[in-house]
Structure 1
Amino acid sequence: MAENLICQELKYLEKAVKTSNLNQTDLKTDQFNVIGINRYIIDPAFTGQTDIDTTTHTDAFDITLSDQNNKLKVIIDSSLNYLIQNHLLHVGSVVILNKCSLKYDEADLNSECVIIVQGIEIVDEVEVCEDQTQDLEWWPDTNLKQRENQPLASNRRYYVDVWTTGHVDKTTLLSRSVPDEEEDFQEISQNYNQFCGIKDVYKNWKSFQGTKPAIIVKVLKISRLYHYGRPIKSDKWPFQLHILIGDETGCCTAVFWNVLAVRYLNVLKEGTCLLLQNFKIKRSFHGGSRFNVGRDYGEIFEVDVNLNPQNPASVVKILQESSLDNIPPLQYNFITRSQLRSVCDGVMCDVIGYIKFVGRVEREKMKNRIEGDGGCYWIYRWLHIIDHSSNKPIIIQLYKPNQSDIFDAVKPGEIVICRHLRVMQYLHTLEDSRQARHLYLSSSSETQMDVYRREDLPKMDDRFRNVDVVREFNDWFYQIQDDIDGRYGGYFIYPPLPNTLRTFKQLHPDIEIINSGMWDKTICNMVYRHHRRIYIQALLAHIKFIRINESITPSPSKLGKNSNNKESMEKNVPEKEEQIVNGDWAKSRDTFKHVGVTDQHQIQQMFPLSYDPDNNSLSRINLPSNTYNHTDISCPEYCKANYFEITWLGLNSKVDLTSVKVCNSLNKDSCISDILTGCRTPVMNDEFCYEGVTSVLNSTATVKDIRYLVALDLYCHDFNNIEIILNGAFPV
């Protein structure tokens, strides 16, 4: 049998693969570092060039490898996509290639071969710095697709975000963005023969002959970038960027098409003034504006101003606002926390506050997802911000906007201005005036963010500083202490489920209940940073109380400060307390298949952490970069939170599932139902009543044979750590 071929450098990899395939011998390489991962939606050209099976996957990955001297981009076979989707293969991985093939585009006379990796072994992990990898030479340097930021085997000219198809990869944005330099209108106006207003465009566009006139407008709102790429089409730049533009005559929608959408995505801001020419006018596809405008900006015209990169090539110039007259100012609807209770559902508003809590990044499946697209997820996180009107936080569910860098970098203690948020009160679910409201704000496709540090407040844009609510907040914020007790990460879900099954059915009439035979498969199908709520029907089998000092080791400084509290807890509460609810299960538990929480140390990440501005460790709760990585070796200090482990028993299968419930609102009269349907305390509460633990465990005798509809929140921290938290359980 022939010996394995050892390829020690990337510049010899192509030759080694050829020899291996020709002689039908095994391939083995030296260790290479993964320094980049890029994803794209496949197209017909990809299938023809690679022969990769795309029946179950509609996205593909190029990975960039490096040795000491060179870097090389290769394609990962679709059978290995799961390694990236589960964050097993990532930037910083050290790999050995053990199976590869070469493919040429036989329809292209100038094509060069691409290397397709079908077998890979992950052996280690290193830290990758972006500056170091940029200096490495590409191999071969003659291959344009290697050096340019575009897919190896596709007609596409862009990459999408590794974690969501809804966003363009940052490297694509950086390489395609136009300069954001502003021009003086007075200096360039002589180059244009005619100007007109939006109203004139709407009424007289067809009558204009020859060169169409230009319009001077202000950007009033910007929508989320729309990506319409599909596997069956070979569009190079399938993007649209919708913005609301206005002048003194009214407003309408402008649509930037294809590569123009990507070029101007990071350049256009609300308030940017533009000169537009060589555009096409079409009646609005939606029969009106897609934006929630009201009458703040005058008449709304049902036309779209379409701007294209060619046929004809549209003219887009950014102008200095100071050089223009009669441009409408931006309108705001700032609302304080104390005013929100009186605002109706669905109203769009703006808020300002300092950030008290930054939630972890979570991924949620898109409803109209493309089958096989591993990036069909929305990305969101929760924020708690405090303003000058109330001690209660403004709770915001923030979906990732176009401003990806701001979304990724928000920190506790910073001041944030969020615009175009939707009020969510669910007033139709209230049964009486005494029922608690669960008020929060949700971002929309138009949401925009501005973030300031305390020292940056004097530099805040005048368009904000002159608003009364903003001015009042700034005056108040200057007076509060510099040290803000912020937190980040951990489990947070809002709004809570209703307290009764009847109300729950009214709100969620079409839920899917997963049978016990599918519990394990459902949990195993979770991918990296995916959050999903599932419903099961089960019996309560076992409950155990876990103390904070048992599962989490605080820092020495924390132990010193709280040593008296620690001694008091040890005297009043046993190390462990548990109660078996189902005796039959207890007798034969060894014969059951166990699903769910098994290792207490895996549970730590469900707790929030105290934020230390001198130790920037928020990378723990963000999605990783596809161009660099940073290994955080600091020891985080988790916030205090006791919890219960609750085990559920399937009705048909011999399977049990262990979930976790954090409950900070017990009292000495608490019972098991308070754990199953209560515990609505927000994440910020540090208090815990230990006297109620025994009362809860003793009350389980009353629920021995009761079936429950159980709502579980699943979250995938990594491939071997799936968080299963009990949201609520309703007796059936």
Structure 2
Amino acid sequence: MAVTVACRPGCVLQRTFSWPTASFPRSDSSKTCREPLFLISIERYAKDLGFAVFFPEAIHASDSIYDATVSDGDCKLRVTIHPSLNTLVEKNELRCGCQLRNVTFSHVTGSEDRNDGDGCPTYRVVNLEVDVEASCDAGLQAFSGMDLDTLPWFGQEGDKQPSLLPLRARRGSYLPMWNNQDYYGEMWRECPPIDPRANSESDSCEDTEDLQPTVTLQEVRRAYLCRSRVIKGILIVRILRKSRLFYYGKAERNCECPYKAVLEVADKSGQATVVLWNSLCMDWYRCVHPGSILKLARYRVKESYNSRTGQKAKDDIEISLNSRNPSADISIILETDVLPQWHLPHTPFTFYCGKEILSCPVGSTCDVIGLVVFVGRTERTRNKDGQGTELWEYRWLRLEDGTTDQPIMVKLFSTSQPEIHSNIHPMSILVCTNVQLVRVTPDRSTSFQYLTNTSLTQVYCTGSGHHSAMSYRRLRPVRRFIQWVQTVDENHLFGRAIIGGFFTYPPLPVSLEQYMRNRNGEPGLVSGGELRREVENLQYRESRMFAIQATVNAVTYTRSGEEEDCSAITDWPTQSTPSAAYPRIPVTCLSPPSSITLSPKSPRLKVRQGPLRCGRSPKRRLFRSAEPPKKRLALPLHSSQHTDSDEDADRDFSLWEASMEFLKKNEEEEDSDDEEDEEDSSSSTSMVTAPSSPLSPHRLQLGLARAARETVPRQFCPQRRVVQTAAVGLQPGRLQATLPIAKLDTFAPADCYDGHYTLTLRALIDGVVVDALFLPCGPGNLHWCPYPHSHNNSWEAILSHGSFSPSSPPPAPSDLIAMATQLTSQRLVCVLEVCQLGGGKTEMVLIRAFPLRD
């Protein structure tokens, strides 16, 4: 039966498919669209047992499948990206807003279609070309001023919508684009689901349930240990701690909602673990929080997971809540409805200030509150416990609380709170609960510590009202911190508040011997060819550290604001050494227009004033208000050339206002404050031709000769905090949330960044050339603190410490360029921090370079 397509005359997709007069006569037929299309959304999910039916020739592809929405400007079409093209997505080359050409569609037959019979034709994209000559913002420009939600769906009648579920697997929801720990999609409830029995006519079941006695956790435990087959009774418990989401979806399983979440609960008789399984996570995970009171019935009791696996367990049982066998009954009890005889415990908190953290033993778990002064860019790292297949998102944060000069460093991974994480910015007040102390000792005289996640870590941030609902507001450590915040000189803090850019912590040792000793069995040195192959395998924003043996062929310096031009290159004769198994290669001297030029008569450098920083570049309004991101994503697009301001509607920003979240009290809290304070303080096929990798085997040079925009740290701009926070984040999966590629350039570089050196390295074994950025830190730099050991500021000392000497003024760039001959024929072990920035850009930063002694 033909379907009427509500498309405008001249619709590219309609011409491609000749719809409805022609269709695909065979399952292996295909249609190629030669005209440009735009990618306006992309969504990820895990494959299941049906994957071999859809893609029999791609069974060895990655575990992810991607559904995308393409548009010609007249209508839009949901498609599945063939798994042989996954690499383009994983490297962020195929991204929202890009322009596509020669897109080849393959029709999905009825036996393969999992679109639940909604009448919409479904297709696979088996080949495509990303138009690299088009602007990276081609999609933003093409749909400027348009509301994408009003575009008709190709193949749908009227206002009918296609299925929101994954097209090629039986999964109940999509996954986040870049991790497995967050929830994603509208099917994750914000409010408790309505009990379907509430309007049923069979009241007998409810009456029977109401007659069940209320039991304690101790009684449930005793009954289970006595091998009681049936444990009946209503449990009323308070949530003490809440875990992140655990995703266990596998290709060999067909579970639609493979999630679980762990809640640590307690009543007057003790503590236990409650586990939410599968679809109950989608219904309840966002609705319950530490401090919530739950009423539970129709649960199952099991031996705890840690006990079953022989691990040390503080709880010997766990209460399992599932949607069937039996169907768990869950409800939330308001604090005002709590009966005194229940004697429910308070939510425990253990807040440590920055000074106390310095003396805590390694592995200690605590809660911390602080004022954020630095928010790093989001990066990703391999999860070693998951056989290296899963990537975890993390950011570095720096907090201050006024108790010590040393900042509180936090390596924050995802906590399944995406809305809160997207609101973390400098000058916000952040609470991190159940974080663990890690201490690193690169040598015997120096140690560095930071806090990082446990499975139970939760974070709360100002700006969205999270603090006002939490009971920790009444604790003395929190009150003392708020008193300190209200005395802080905001102008002083604004001057050093930083967001984004390259950052690494903790510092590496200053000797080669100690560095190799601290690797703890990890692979050692790699050749240039091995480094190239490893870089090819990196995914978007994945960060890894490598070490290679190399010599330095050239040194350049680029001033802040002139990253688009190479500033200066010095070269020296390359002398043959017994260890250099390659011919001498001369270095070309370049002198393009730049901020620094090398005089042919003197090693002194002439410095010209660079352009003014772009803190007040032309702006446009991307978001109409400072609402949470989930409410902003549906707004119509605007052209990247739009000249309106993109500042937030809420231009006022004050630490005093932020601290007021902690001082707002409900009426029922007034009388019990003092008493509670005392208590709490104690406690592919032949037709699929994916583009070749930008790092082909014939390319022997790696890295960027100048810093990418993502490398440069930025001054925090409070009036544009929402846009700035989004600009340093990961590539979104929807065009409505995508920013112009150069949006970061509208924010001024941080004061700590004056420029960068580029060292051109040549691998000793195979001659592969690497351009590595070098960002030495110096005295007074609070962002990149120098290593505490003093040295003579020679090139060898600076490279082995990664910084200038903390006890003397750093040499000027002109002097360092003049001293670069110190590196002539010097063999070095170079430690590189490598990050795949996406779109074919690979950032390589030189962290350390240790001299090799004969």
TM-score band by shorter chain is: 0.7 to 0.9
CA distance, structure 1, for counterparts of residue 392 and residue 365 of structure 2: 21
CA distance, structure 2, for counterparts of residue 235 and residue 417 of structure 1: 35
Number of equivalences? 681
Which stretches in structure 1 are left out of the alignment for 5+ residues?
A: 1-5, 294-299, 554-573
Residue 565 of structure 1 corresponds to none
SS at match of 2:176: coil
**Cα gap change, 1:224 to 1:456, in 2 (>3 Å):** closer
Q: 2:547 matched to 1:507?
A: no
Residue 841 of structure 2 corresponds to 721
Pairing partner for 1:479 from 475, 478, 487: 487
Between 1:234-243 and 1:618-627, the stretch displaced more is 618-627
Pairing partner for 1:606 from 683, 702, 711: 711
Q: Write out aligned runs for 1:693-704 (5 A).
A: 694=815, 698=819, 700-701=821-822, 704=824
Q: Write out aligned runs for 1:245-260 (5 A).
A: 245-260=265-280
CA contact (8 A) 1:265 1:402 kept: no
Between 1:136-145 and 1:384-393, the stretch displaced more is 136-145
Instruction: Report the AA paired with residue 305 of structure 1.
Output: I
CA contact (8 A) 1:94 1:126 kept: yes
Query: What CA deviation, in whole Å up to 9, does each residue of 1:17-70 have, x standing for no partner?
Result: 845979978622654432321111111213214545222322111112335554
**Cα gap change, 1:215 to 1:469, in 2 (>3 Å):** same
Residue 126 of structure 1 corresponds to 139
Q: Write out aligned runs for 1:587-598 (5 A).
A: 587-589=584-586, 594-598=700-704
Query: What CA deviation, in whole Å up to 9, does each residue of 1:250-298 have, x standing for no partner?
Result: 11111111111222222221111101111111111211899999xxxxx
Q: Cα offset for 1:606?
A: 1.7
**Cα gap change, 1:541 to 1:188, in 2 (>3 Å):** farther
Q: 2:799 matched to 1:676?
A: yes
CA distance, structure 2, for counterparts of residue 613 and residue 409 of structure 1: 12
Pairing partner for 1:199 from 203, 206, 218: 218
**Cα gap change, 1:273 to 1:56, in 2 (>3 Å):** same
CA distance, structure 1, for counterparts of residue 804 and residue 585 of structure 2: 36
Q: Write out aligned runs for 1:387-466 (5 A).
A: 387-426=401-440, 430-431=443-444, 435-453=445-463, 460-461=468-469, 463-466=471-474
Q: Cα offset for 1:543?
A: 2.9
CA contact (8 A) 2:531 2:546 kept: no
**Cα gap change, 1:377 to 1:107, in 2 (>3 Å):** closer
TM-align CA RMSD? 3.8
Query: What CA deviation, in whole Å up to 9, does each residue of 1:98-146 have, x standing for no partner?
Result: 3111122538897676311112234452237999333444444489997
Query: What CA deviation, in whole Å up to 9, does each residue of 1:361-399 have, x standing for no partner?
Result: 00111224468x6xx210000111111212432111000
Residue 495 of structure 1 corresponds to 506
CA contact (8 A) 2:279 2:323 kept: yes
Q: Cα offset for 1:688?
A: 7.0
Between 1:60-69 and 1:394-403, the stretch displaced more is 60-69
CA contact (8 A) 1:288 1:301 kept: no
SS at match of 1:175: coil
**Cα gap change, 1:607 to 1:209, in 2 (>3 Å):** closer
Q: Cα offset for 1:190?
A: 8.9
CA contact (8 A) 1:661 1:727 kept: yes
Q: Cα offset for 1:356?
A: 0.5
Between 1:276-285 and 1:607-616, the stretch displaced more is 607-616
CA distance, structure 2, for counterparts of residue 312 and residue 676 of structure 1: 63
**Cα gap change, 1:131 to 1:314, in 2 (>3 Å):** farther
CA contact (8 A) 1:11 1:140 kept: no
CA distance, structure 1, for counterparts of residue 420 and residue 279 of structure 2: 23
**Cα gap change, 1:149 to 1:335, in 2 (>3 Å):** same
Residue 567 of structure 1 corresponds to none
Residue 748 of structure 2 corresponds to 637
Which stretches in structure 2 are left out of the alignment for 5+ residues?
A: 1-9, 196-205, 577-581, 589-697, 780-789
SS at match of 1:605: coil
CA contact (8 A) 1:511 1:535 kept: no
Instruction: Report the AA paired with residue 798 of structure 2.
Output: I
Q: Cα offset for 1:607?
A: 2.1
Q: 2:163 matched to 1:158?
A: no
Instruction: Report the AA paired with residue 652 of structure 1.
Output: I
**Cα gap change, 1:12 to 1:223, in 2 (>3 Å):** same
Q: 2:260 matched to 1:240?
A: yes
CA distance, structure 1, for counterparts of residue 171 and residue 57 of structure 2: 17
Q: TM-score, normalised by structure 2?
A: 0.72
Pairing partner for 1:336 from 353, 358, 366: 353
Q: Write out aligned runs for 1:248-327 (5 A).
A: 248-287=268-307, 300-324=314-338, 325=340, 326-327=343-344
Q: Cα offset for 1:524?
A: 3.2
Flag the structure with more relative contact order, 1 or 2, with Cα contacts below 8 A and sequence separation at least 6: 2
CA contact (8 A) 1:243 1:254 kept: yes
Query: What CA deviation, in whole Å up to 9, does each residue of 1:280-333 have, x standing for no partner?
Result: 11111211899999xxxxxx5310100011111001111112322311111111
Between 1:190-199 and 1:220-229, the stretch displaced more is 190-199
Instruction: Report the AA paired with residue 251 of structure 2.
Output: P
CA contact (8 A) 2:246 2:261 kept: yes
CA distance, structure 1, for counterparts of residue 369 and residue 468 of structure 2: 12
**Cα gap change, 1:116 to 1:190, in 2 (>3 Å):** closer
CA distance, structure 2, for counterparts of residue 313 and residue 407 of structure 1: 33
Q: Cα offset for 1:728?
A: 1.0
CA distance, structure 2, for counterparts of residue 65 and residue 228 of structure 1: 30
**Cα gap change, 1:97 to 1:661, in 2 (>3 Å):** same
Instruction: Report the AA paired with residue 637 of structure 1.
Output: A
Question: Of Structure 1 and Structure 2, which has the larger fraction of its residues in helix?
Answer: 1
Q: Cα offset for 1:655?
A: 2.1
Q: Write out aligned runs for 1:162-241 (5 A).
A: 162-168=177-183, 170-171=184-185, 174-177=186-189, 179-180=191-192, 191-205=210-224, 212-241=232-261
CA contact (8 A) 2:550 2:764 kept: yes
Residue 624 of structure 1 corresponds to 731
**Cα gap change, 1:190 to 1:263, in 2 (>3 Å):** closer
Pairing partner for 2:761 from 638, 648, 651: 648
Query: What CA deviation, in whole Å up to 9, does each residue of 1:672-709 have, x standing for no partner?
Result: 12221213589xx9x973348636853754x5455332
User: Percentage identity across aligned positions?
Assistant: 21
**Cα gap change, 1:355 to 1:122, in 2 (>3 Å):** same
CA contact (8 A) 2:796 2:851 kept: no
Between 1:206-215 and 1:657-666, the stretch displaced more is 206-215
Pairing partner for 1:580 from 556, 572, 577: 572
**Cα gap change, 1:720 to 1:196, in 2 (>3 Å):** same
**Cα gap change, 1:145 to 1:503, in 2 (>3 Å):** farther
Q: 2:377 matched to 1:360?
A: yes
Instruction: Report the AA paired with residue 180 of structure 2.
Output: T
CA contact (8 A) 1:380 1:398 kept: yes
Query: What CA deviation, in whole Å up to 9, does each residue of 1:419-452 have, x standing for no partner?
Result: 111111235x652xxx232121112221111111
Between 1:645-654 and 1:106-115, the stretch displaced more is 106-115
Q: Cα offset for 1:463?
A: 1.4
Q: Cα offset for 1:594?
A: 4.8
Q: Cα offset for 1:496?
A: 0.7
Question: Of Structure 1 and Structure 2, which has the larger fraction of its residues in strand?
Answer: 1
Q: Cα offset for 1:176?
A: 3.4
CA contact (8 A) 1:44 1:231 kept: yes
